[in-house]
Structure 1
Amino acid sequence: MIENTTYIKCRPSQLVNLGHFLIVLLFIPLVFIPGGTISEFLPTELILGNLEIHLIRLPLYLFMAVLLKLGYHILKTRCICYEINPEELQYTSGILHRKHEYIELFRVKDFQVDRPLIYRFFGLGNLVIYTSDKTTPVFRLEAIRKPEEVYTVLRGLVELNRKEKHVYEID
């Protein structure tokens, strides 16, 4: 195939970070713990003066750490991109260090569409692709919109690519 058309370009949903969002929600009450409550439980004679202030602020520090971790995961998910063109499936990921993976379509052996309950509420699903590629035998397109449509397009391109390259699978 000579044409350089991209048939599908998609990104995973931020729903994959649901667990991180819930952890942040659990840590929100820590911010509202008054410093006096914490200082009652601290043995003041064993703690240095500057350290006591930081121990009183410990819940706030924990909340900020959890919030930073959530931000990292949101950014990491945002930097993932799946692209399907007539020759290959391209996977791009990474925040500072970009990683590009390519899977030739004639190497695709089988598909599986996985739709957990929470994903179905939002019209999302996972597409699992089994390949004969040495580096990526199982590839997952996580939390994508309309996984059945992506499967249909990808299956047609795989068959077309195999026919064009005269590749046949023998069991």
Structure 2
Amino acid sequence: MSGSTSNESVIATLKPSILAGVGSLIVGLLLASIGTYYLVHVAVYLYGFLISLHIPGSSIILNRSCAIITVWVICLIIPICKIIGLATTKFDITPRRVYYYHGVLNRRVDQLEIARIRDLSTSEPLLLRLFGLGNLILLTADRTHPRQLIPGIRDVHGMRERVHDLSVAERQRTGYQEMENTTEATA
């Protein structure tokens, strides 16, 4: 358990599934495949054009393997970074706060007061739903995190109800009230 949650009991620890990044990985693979196909065909025509112009050294101008590797790296760098980011993310839910641990090289911890959660919703994209996963979305009165997404978690509906119950209990305990249509609150 981390030092920031040492005086609070952790009710749930949520680690996003890397399956939440599989959709972007599939798109990256498709783009890389299409890019490779067109790159090979354009390279053949360009190579033929350069030969027809009798440009000296045209046989070494095109290095297809380097071009193909470049296309694959460009198309897959963002999905791979997203998956690594998901693998290094964790949420700890306590009766009073939600702690959000994230970062690959530099670790950052953010916290959200559970009483400041205004609304909860879930989304279940097809790919996640196939694996029994979903996204929990916290809409809050917090200025730095007005919308907090917890991606790729199991039993998303059950977790939504648990967080809702914790939020209601904490609001009652502290007497927290929000002014309608404002970001101000009274405690």
- Give yes or no for TM over 0.5: yes
Q: What is residue 23 of structure 1 aligned with on the other side? A: 28
Q: What is residue 14 of structure 2 aligned with on the other side? A: 10
In the aligned structure 2, how far is the partner of 1:107 from the partner of 1:127?
16
Cα displacement (A) at 1:170: 4.8
Cα displacement (A) at 1:30: 6.8
The TM-score with structure 1 as length reference comes to 0.79
**2:172 pairs with 1:163:** yes
* Greater RCO (Cα-Cα under 8 Å, separation 6 or more): 1
Decide whether the 8 Å contact of 1:80 with 1:94 is kept in 2: yes
Q: What is residue 87 of structure 2 aligned with on the other side? A: 78
Q: 1:103 aligns with which of 107, 112, 118?
A: 112
- In structure 2, the CA distance between the partners of 1:140 and 1:30, relative to structure 1 (3 Å rule), is closer
Q: Which deviates the most, 54-63 or 139-148?
A: 54-63
- In structure 2, the CA distance between the partners of 1:115 and 1:31, relative to structure 1 (3 Å rule), is closer
Write out aligned runs for 1:52-63 (5 A). Answer: 52=61, 54-55=63-64, 57-63=66-72
Count of residues paired in the alignment: 170
Q: What is residue 185 of structure 2 aligned with on the other side? A: none
**2:99 pairs with 1:90:** yes
Decide whether the 8 Å contact of 1:30 with 1:60 is kept in 2: no
For the aligned residue pairs, the C-alpha RMSD in angstroms reads 3.1
Q: What is residue 184 of structure 2 aligned with on the other side? A: none
Unmatched 5+ stretches in structure 1 = none
Q: Which amino acid aligns with 1:23?
A: G
The TM-score with structure 2 as length reference comes to 0.73
Deviations 1:76-100 (A, max 9, x none): 1211111111110111211112222
Unmatched 5+ stretches in structure 2 = 1-5, 181-187
In the aligned structure 1, how far is the partner of 2:17 from the partner of 2:69?
29
Q: 1:66 aligns with which of 58, 66, 75?
A: 75
Identity %: 20
In the aligned structure 1, how far is the partner of 2:56 from the partner of 2:163?
63
Q: What is residue 123 of structure 1 aligned with on the other side? A: 132
3-state SS of 1:57 partner: helix
Write out aligned runs for 1:40-59 (5 A). Answer: 41-42=46-47, 43-44=50-51, 45-46=54-55, 52=61, 54-55=63-64, 57-59=66-68
Cα displacement (A) at 1:15: 2.7
In the aligned structure 1, how far is the partner of 2:60 from the partner of 2:93?
55
3-state SS of 1:133 partner: coil
